[in-house]
Amino acid sequence: MRAYFMDDLPGDQRELHDSGRTVPDEMLDKLGVLRWHIPVDAEGKWQSEVDKIADARSYKNRDIVLNAKEGLGDTFEATMKRFYSEHMHEDEEIRYIIEGSGFFDVREFTTDEWVRLHLSAGDMIVLPAGIYHRFSLDMGNKSRTMRLFKDEPKWIAYNRSTDTDTNPFRLDYVKAVQGVAVGA
């Protein structure tokens, strides 16, 4: 996984949009973004490593989604547009990339700049509840991704608005980030 600040230049969301400013691990830690690299291997050893993380975080369910024209058909463009709208969730978002690649963009709390995380096969991330983020495929136009859930599989996005700014999960996230920033 590679993390950097996005540039503000117009263009296809699937392009790198690399500002040339790297984001250090310490900043991702402060934002609450957890990450691992678990190489995908033909023997399936990666599954036991993912299971260990899932067990430690009390994830009981999972599914695998194919984000690609071949997997989504006529809904591909609309789905990609929906995923790229800035939003938050009331639970963690945990993803393991099995094949392909894409971007998770998260808001840096103090500046509101986009931090772009370029994930490829073997990368796993956890985005905390309440963090503003979005997802896009890269120019490869494909990712096969395992999604993990504490309970039944669900994906409820709350698009950024004045209402989400006062959502209790957002407020808890802001307090947590401010606590890390003050103690750093």
Q: What is the pLDDT of residue 181?
A: 46
Q: What is the pLDDT of residue 85?
A: 94
Q: What is the pLDDT of residue 184?
A: 43
Q: What is the pLDDT of residue 88?
A: 97
User: Is the CB of residue 23 less than 8 Å from the CB of residue 115?
Assistant: yes
Q: What is the pLDDT of residue 93?
A: 95
pTM, entire model = 0.92
Both tokens of 124, joined, read 């796993």
Residue type at position 173: Y
Q: Which residues are annotated as a binding site?
A: 87, 89, 93, 133
Q: Which residues are annotated as a binding site for Ni(2+)?
A: 87, 89, 93, 133
The rounded distance, in Å, linking the Cα atoms of 128 and 134 is 13
Sign, CA dihedral 156-74-116-25, equals: positive
Instruction: Tell me the CA distances in angstroms from 145 to 57, 68, 102, 123, 171, one per residue in order.
Output: 18, 11, 10, 10, 29
Both tokens of 56, joined, read 């430690």
Average pLDDT of the chain is 94
Q: What is the pLDDT of residue 180?
A: 53
Q: What is the pLDDT of residue 182?
A: 40
Q: How many CA atoms lie within 13 A of 45 on its CB side?
A: 6
| CATH architecture type of domain 2-6+21-177 | Sandwich (2.60)
Domain ranges of the chain: 2-6+21-177
Spatial CA neighbour of 131 closest among 85, 172, 101, 182? 172
Q: What percent of the chain clears pLDDT 90, i.e. is strictly above it? A: 85
Q: Which residues are annotated as a binding site for Fe(2+)?
A: 87, 89, 93, 133
Q: What is the per-residue pLDDT across 27-76, written as a single tens digit (0 to 9) for each?
A: 999 999 999 999 999 999 999 999 999 999 999 999 999 999 888 889 99
Angle ∠(85,90,91) on CA atoms, nearest 5 = 105
Enumerate residue ranges in the chain where pLDDT < 50.
181-184
Angle ∠(96,51,130) on CA atoms, nearest 5 = 50
